[in-house]
A and B are shown apart, each in its own frame.
Chain A
């Protein structure tokens, strides 16, 4: 499925690096989401955007900075991450926030 794409698919970064994850949805949706999935743990919601406005921040540390320039694109800017931030980062979108969410393939992040 190519409705929601994420780049890069894999990323290795040092703790002092700055990197960005990109998500793009081709479904005409208005809501977009970032999730984190650490090893052996359930998916955790990080951020929700609705019509480009952030509507939810699930107590995420400031070293994760989301950006939503339009309804089709969502970024996650990463700065001075810790090794425990290594995880699969997933993007999702839905028509409206109450509707079914569709996920991208994820970015596998390793912080050294």
Chain B
């Protein structure tokens, strides 16, 4: 089972920031927070990941709370092409079944004009 909790759906206005929350209250010290998204019927796309510190790349920012029990993915200027299901996943960064990606149901983000 997925070790994260996400809202099933969210709406965002085009051009505004989309803030997608994720709860992972049982996260272990050696587990990373990963975000992927899946546009309808396509393969999941890697977005970003982090351990403790906030991270930013060309796609998004990841804000992890100090106690690491929750995080927020921020898309700074959402476009219609950002409409997708967003998955928050926690995993250890080493091999074996504990390092597997366990996908939950994610958050369906709808960006509206």
Question: Which A residues contact B (CB, under 8 angstroms)?
Answer: 1, 4, 6, 42-45, 48, 50, 55-56, 88, 90, 92, 96-106, 108
Which stretch of B12-20, B63-71, B98-106 is in the interface? Answer: B98-106
Interface residues of B, dominant DSSP = loop
In the complex formed, the residue of B with least CB distance to A42 is B103
**Are B2 and A55 touching (Cβ within 8 A)?**
no
11 residue pairs A–B, Cβ–Cβ below 8 Å: A6-B43, A42-B103, A43-B103, A45-B101, A48-B100, A55-B95, A88-B41, A100-B34, A103-B36, A103-B46, A108-B41
Q: Which residues of B contact A96 (CB under 8 A)?
A: 95
B81 CB, min distance to chain A CBs, angstroms: 14
In the complex formed, the residue of A with least CB distance to B44 is A103
Q: Which residues of B contact A101 (CB under 8 A)?
A: 46, 101
**Would you list which residues of chain B between 1 and 48 have a CB under 8 Å from chain A?**
2, 34, 36, 41-46
Q: Which residues of B contact A48 (CB under 8 A)?
A: 100
**Would you list which residues of chain B between 74 and 89 have a CB under 8 Å from chain A?**
none
| Chain B CB within 10 Å, residue with most, of A43, A44, A56, A104 | A43
Given the known interface contacts A100-B34, A100-B49, the answer about A42 and B2 at a Cβ–Cβ threshold of 8 Å is yes
Q: Which residues of A contact B92 (CB under 8 A)?
A: 98
Q: Which residues of B contact A99 (CB under 8 A)?
A: 93
